[in-house]
């Protein structure tokens, strides 16, 4: 199988990191904690692309966004700017 291909709708952790634009270490932490919809297939982490897209589309509370921002080391100023853009100051 060519290096860049997913496994039939499943993504490898490095592909998830690229897809989400976050460090791969954070992807592994989120998979281990259950925050990210992932499963082990033959002992290796995989993420179903359809489940990942559904997870991204879910309504998320401001508290969840702040928690994720802290986990990803996003500066609080960027979080506040994000909420301002949403009209949720």
Q: Could you tell me the domains of the chain?
A: 1-58 (1.10.10), 59-89 (no CATH)
Extract the tokens encoding 30: 């989120």
Give the span between the Cα atoms of 32 and 38, in whole angstroms: 9
Question: pLDDT 10s per residue in the chain (89 long)?
Answer: 344 444 468 999 999 999 888 899 999 999 999 989 999 999 999 999 999 888 887 766 777 777 777 777 778 787 777 777 766 55
Instruction: Report CA-CA distances (Å) from 2 to 10, 40, 44, 65.
Output: 14, 21, 18, 35
Contact 19, 11 (CB under 8 A): yes
> The whole model's pTM is what?
0.63
């Amino acid at each position: 199988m060519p290096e860049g291909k997913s496994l039939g709708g499943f993504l490898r952790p490095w592909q998830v990191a690229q897809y989400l634009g976050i460090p791969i270490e954070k992807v592994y932490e989120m998979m281990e904690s259950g925050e990210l919809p992932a499963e082990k297939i033959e002992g290796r982490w995989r993420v179903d692309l359809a489940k990942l897209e559904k997870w991204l589309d879910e309504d998320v509370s401001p508290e969840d966004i702040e928690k994720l921002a802290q986990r990803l080391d996003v500066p609080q100023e960027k979080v506040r700017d994000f909420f301002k853009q949403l009209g949720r100051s």
